[in-house]
Amino acid sequence: MSQPLSDRALLLLLAAVTALGPIATNLYLPVLPLIREHFGASVAEVQSTFSIALVLFAVGLLFWGPFSDRYGRRAAVLSGLSILVIGALVGLVAWSLPLLVVGRALQAFGTATGMVVARAIVTDLYPTERMAKTLAQLTMVAVLGNMLAPVLGGYLAAGFGWRSIFVALVVAAGAIGFAAYRHLPETRRASTVPPSGRDMLATGWRLLQRPMFVGCVLQSGAIYATFLVFISLAPYVMVSALGRPPTEYGFYYLLVALGYFFGNWSVSRLQSRHDLHWVVLNGVLLQLAGAIAALGFVALGFRHPLWIFVPVAVLSYGQGLALPNVIATAVSLEPQNAGVGSSTIGFLQMLIGSACVQAMGIFPTDTPFPMLTFAVVVCFLALGLLWVFPRVEAGGRG
């Protein structure tokens, strides 16, 4: 039986559930080179532990929302956390790379419940004005976890080996799961009639027939692919090309996370003076400028990590400006089915990102050039999408 929580305590619990996803991902990134060495595998083979996890996370985004509508928010959170723990235990004992892939996939599928169900609980409890503020607070905590996890992952791996990150996840998810079991209330309204699978498929197909939605999917996919390819290949580049220990990656990654954080922070301030299309256009231009600068510095022979990570922080700032507006536009196209729209674009951008991560695994990582060239090419494509779909980012207004 759950015990009532104050608003503040409930928000802390939801924030912890939400943050588990980015924490699980970013704890893992610094140990990728160590896993490659341990199993004697290629970069492409080790990348499968990341890209397949992204696919299962995308599937989870589609699954947990309807599950929570049908069976309740508590059941969804507790089930997701249980699957996360099972996946982390499989990763902990994995004696082969395929088994590690299975563990990572289970873990990612379980973590997807945090993002989806926490938003649903907030929607159940609060009016629109309070909901927006609360969701922003949850996002801030997730970003904080995103920032600190690579640092912690690097030190855990250096001190106790790469398997220690799975121990940390089991402990964290177990503690949060116990708190949720004891205290998380059921907030789903008893009168709620969950949409059928056929209804959701019909809505998703209807959205995909709208050029504006397709444009948003491609734009968000380009932004997300640029980010995922960089964060998944940068740990190898740090070790192989720059001769740095895994512990350093987390500190430099802070610049990337801060860039995105301040990009999000700037959105509301810029939108008070400029229209949505202006904000997106400038976000995409900053993204491109950061990618070109990073590639240019490397081409000129600069090899310190700051010559890569500072421009990528500018790139990330631009993404923080553009991505929330692109997704908001896509979701606003069918406000009565916002959940389906959100899940659909989230699922597709994850698929695009995971495909790019796996494809880039075949390129060498003893040089930053493939990683940064990919970023420049995709950022040019993102800019081109603004011309192919010139009204996409203004869709919610016009």
Of the candidate ranges 28-37, 109-118, 131-140, 196-205, the one whose mean pLDDT is the lowest: 131-140
Average pLDDT for 174-184: 89
pLDDT of residue 337: 62
Name the amino acid, one letter, at 321: L
Of 189-198, 277-286, 388-397, the one with minimum mean pLDDT is 388-397
pLDDT bracket for residue 142 (50, 70, 90): confident
Angstrom distances, CA of residue 396 to CA of 85, 163, 219, 268, 334: 40, 46, 15, 16, 10
Q: What is the mean pLDDT of residues 11-31?
A: 84
C-alpha closest to that of 230 among 262, 264, 260? 260
Displacement of CA 329 from its chain's centroid (Å): 19
Query: Mean pLDDT, to the nearest integer, of 268-283?
Result: 78
CATH class of 195-392: mainly alpha
Contacts for 344 with CB less than 8 Å, ≥ 6 apart: 62, 204, 207, 208, 217
In this prediction the pTM is 0.78
C-alpha 396/C-alpha 200 separation (Å) is 21
| 54: confidence class by pLDDT, cuts 50, 70, 90 | confident
pLDDT band with cut points at 50, 70 and 90 for residue 251: confident
397 — pLDDT class (breaks 50, 70, 90): very low
Name which residue leads in pLDDT, 131 or 72.
72
Lowest mean pLDDT among 6-20, 41-55, 76-90: 6-20
Alpha carbon 122 to chain centroid distance? Answer: 20
Give pLDDT, residue 65: 76
CA–CA dist 66, 220 (Å, integer): 23
Q: Which amino acid is at 133?
A: K
State the amino acid at position 16 in one-letter form.
A
pLDDT of residue 373: 96
Instruction: Return the number of other C-beta atoms located less than 10 Å from residue 307's C-beta.
Output: 18
Q: Which two structure tokens, joined as six digits, stand for 151? A: 């640092």
Q: What beta strand segments (E) does the chain contain?
A: none
Closest Cα to residue 27, out of 175, 200, 163? 163
Dihedral over alpha carbons 303, 244, 36, 38 (to 10 degrees): 160
Tell me what pLDDT residue 24 has: 86
Mean pLDDT value of segment 76-92:
93
Domains 1-185 and 195-392 share a fold: yes
CA dist 134 and 116 (Å) reads 14
Asked whether residue 29 carries a pLDDT value surpassing 80, the answer given is: yes
Strand boundaries in 219-346, DSSP class E: none
What value does the mean pLDDT take over residues 27-45? 88
Q: Is 382:280 a contact under the CB 8 Å cutoff?
A: no
**Which pLDDT score is estimated for 195?**
62
Distance in angstroms (rounded) separating the CA atoms of residues 391 and 319: 19
User: Quick one: 1-185 is in which CATH superfamily?
Assistant: MFS general substrate transporter like domains (1.20.1250.20)
pLDDT on residue 168: 92
Can you give the pLDDT at residue 27?
87
Dist CA 271 CA 291 (whole Å): 25
Confidence of residue 175 (pLDDT cuts 50, 70, 90): very high
Cα–Cα dist 246/32, whole Å: 9
Nearest to 74 by CA among 178, 191, 179, 181: 181
Q: What is the mean pLDDT of the chain?
A: 83
In which band, very low, low, confident or very high, does the pLDDT at 395 lie, cut at 50, 70 and 90? very low
pLDDT band with cut points at 50, 70 and 90 for residue 277: confident
Highest mean pLDDT among 269-278, 298-307, 356-365: 298-307
Tell me: the pLDDT tens digits for 156-168? 888 888 999 999 9
Residue 149, number of CB atoms within 10 A of its CB = 25
- AA letter at 49: T
Tell me how far apart the alpha carbons of residues 11 and 137 are, in angstroms, rounded to a whole number. 9
b/e map 156-186, b = 16+ CB within 10 Å = bbbeeebbbbbbbbbebbeebbebbeeebee
User: CA–CA separation, 169 vs 110, rounded Å?
Assistant: 12
Cα separation, 46 vs 34, in Å, equals: 10
The dihedrals phi and psi of 243, each to the nearest 5 degrees, come to 65, 35
| Domain residue spans of the chain | 1-185, 195-392
Euclidean distance between CA atoms 86 and 78, whole angstroms: 12
pLDDT at 133: 57
